[in-house]
With several copies, the nearest count.
Chain A
Amino acid sequence: MIAAGSREISDGQAVFAGLGIPQLAVALAQRTHAPHVVVLNEAGVVDPHLIELGVGNADPRHWYGASYFGTFLDVVGMLCQRGVVDVGFLGALEVDAYGNNNSSEVLRDDGGIRRFGGGGGANDIASHAKSTILIVRHERRKLVERLVHNTSPGFLDGGDARARLGLPGGGPSRVLTDKAVFGFDDVTHHIKLLSIHPGVSDEELQAATGFALDIPSGCPRTPPPTDEEVRLVREELDPRRMYVGAF
């Protein structure tokens, strides 16, 4: 997922990347094909160059080497809603087949609500970034037909629903899971399988997905991370394995 995320980033882009996999994906991109990526942090930080990983956006470790300290309004209002953010990575509890996603709450087995911390700026990023990349663990209860809470709209009901409503951003471009990489159809905006990770079978993939998948015969395999990518993440970006157990 780190390598796959990294490959979605182009040089020079302005990118929101939260803790964990998104952040490592962006750091990896900076070390390989996209050295001039500008990282944004909702707390009010632009272009940090950290020298050690911290515990989150609020950790000053993630502010080190920044060239801009401002406010949430500066970063999420005057950059993101202003329309100059290229990519936003969003972690999700649930994603549906149009890239709408939930970062608020899920249902417990007993039907009660299990509340998470709340999306924070996730809805703002989903509404305004030129593209978003959704990160979700590939489970049947996470890739779902119907969300418990649509915190961050993707393409709504698909087709031109998003544009018609007037959401300024481009919507999700990718969904990255631990089993596959998805994109979206240009017209219907329905989720579209792009590649399956090595070692995952078609049956396993469908079984772990809460909506029907169209798995083309001969669907490409996701290229595995290169040796250099593995080395960079293990030895330089996350040597203490804070965020990466098995790669």
Chain B
Amino acid sequence: MTENQAVERSKLTSLAEAAAIVRDEDNLAVGGFACARNAVAFSRELIRQGRRDLTLSGVVLGMEADLLVGAGAVKRLIYGGGSLDRYGPIQCINRAYEQGKIVAEYYSSLAVNFRYLAGALGIPYMPIKSMLGSDLLTRLEQDTAADVVKEGECPFTSEHLVLVRALVPDVTVLQVQMADELGNAQILGPRWDNDEAAKAARQVIVITEELVSTDIIRRQPELTVLPGFRVDAVVHLPFGAHPTSLYRCYDHDADHLKLYVGKARTEAGLEEYLDEYVREPRDHFEYLDRVGGLAHLSTLKADPVLGY
């Protein structure tokens, strides 16, 4: 038996083609966590393509979600919280919430993660003990998610439980450090809800900083976050998470995040931001020029020991 090096099919595609996988009204799981590892370039492309009526989900949302809500691309959120860490709150989301422009299914973050987990495991629901006795539960049951959240009893112990229905995203997007063209993606650092969100999804899009050969993946298959055959598109894009951080590759861009938070404070300011950094740039590389180009981006490069 000699080595079988099958010529396997590449899933490498452009950012625009990958974004076109997401349709209006789709349920999209985003993979960022506050200021870390957001697929912000992907959100910008969805906005450029005019995507509408999305349902967005995540345990802790960040800039990729805030931008999509600010641009009016979202009709429903499934989330536990969100922030831009110390730079400020997710202002577009909070404003849309306050104005009733989105339906917000607001859970404990673990409950969102449990919905993904059920989806990933191929079971219709999960029992959970979070949210008992809270207004989170009351609102979900009575208002935003009556067909998704119920109270029940354990059939063995009779203890009181919350039951949450499986969430199967139409698409999950993951920003990663390293992937091959078959879709084998590796994440360094903590992975928050990425594992279950990706394993639950119908389709998975991977945005990767480094494109590597499958032989590099095979050196440490323990780091592969889901098997390549579950991935539908791989986009090779430098600084795709900017201005959020990509552990071991680059730090978050404090200046740009401050700029964003300043602009996003008002709807008018956000429109200016969207024009300058999302709608006007022809593509991701023109965006990178506008935020300071290589000279500025080089200052964000991670120290190899610290990882940031």
Contacts and interface: CB of A to CB of B under 8 A. Distances in A.
| A–B proximity contact (CB within 8 A) | yes
Given A71-B192, A121-B80, A55 B4 contact: no
B64 interface: no
A151 B136 contact: yes
Contacts of A81: 110, 121-123, 128-130
A122 B134 CA distance: 11
B242 to A, nearest CB: 15
Given A73-B113, A73-B193, A116-B94, A78 B121 contact: yes
Interface size class, chain B: 35 or more
B136 A56 contact: no
B80 A113 contact: no
Interface string A42-75: 1111110111111111111101111111111110
Given A43-B36, A81-B121, A151-B134, A120 B60 contact: yes
A56 B109 contact: no
Contacts of A19: 85-86
7 contacts: A61-B308, A64-B306, A67-B180, A67-B221, A120-B82, A121-B110, A123-B134
A202 interface: no
Given A60-B308, A70-B190, 8 more contacts: A58-B85, A64-B307, A70-B224, A77-B122, A81-B110, A124-B111, A153-B132, A165-B160
Shortest Cβ-Cβ A-B pairs, 9 listed: A56-B85, A44-B190, A118-B81, A120-B81, A58-B34, A81-B122, A58-B36, A123-B108, A60-B308
Given A59-B36, A73-B195, A82-B121, A128 B108 contact: no
Interface string B267-308: 000000000000000000000000000000000001000111
A36 B11 CA distance: 13
Interface string A1-44: 00000000000101000010000000100110001111001111
B14 interface: no
A76 interface: yes
A144 interface: no
Interface of B: 1-9, 33-36, 59-60, 62, 79-83, 85-87, 89-90, 93-95, 97-98, 106, 108-111, 113-114, 117, 119-123, 128-136, 159-161, 180, 182, 184, 188-196, 199-200, 214, 217-218, 221-222, 224, 226-230, 245, 247, 251-252, 254, 302, 306-308
A69 B198 CA distance: 16
Contacts of A27: 1, 4
Contact of A152 (B4, B9, B87, B134): B134
A79 B227 contact: yes
Interface string A193-210: 000000000000000000
A68 B60 CA distance: 20
Interface string A119-138: 11111100110000000000
The dominant DSSP class at the B interface is: loop
B307 A72 contact: no
Contacts of B129: 81, 127-128, 166-168
A19 B95 CA distance: 24
B224 A73 contact: no
Contacts of B109: 42, 72, 76, 119-121, 124
A128 B122 contact: yes
B214 to A, nearest CB: 6
A68 B184 contact: yes
Contacts of A68: 184, 221, 224, 226-228
Contact of B97 (A54, A115, A167, A236): A115
Given A72-B110, A73-B193, A31 B4 contact: yes
A120 B85 CA distance: 12
A117 interface: yes
Given A67-B182, A113-B98, A152-B134, A83 B1 contact: no
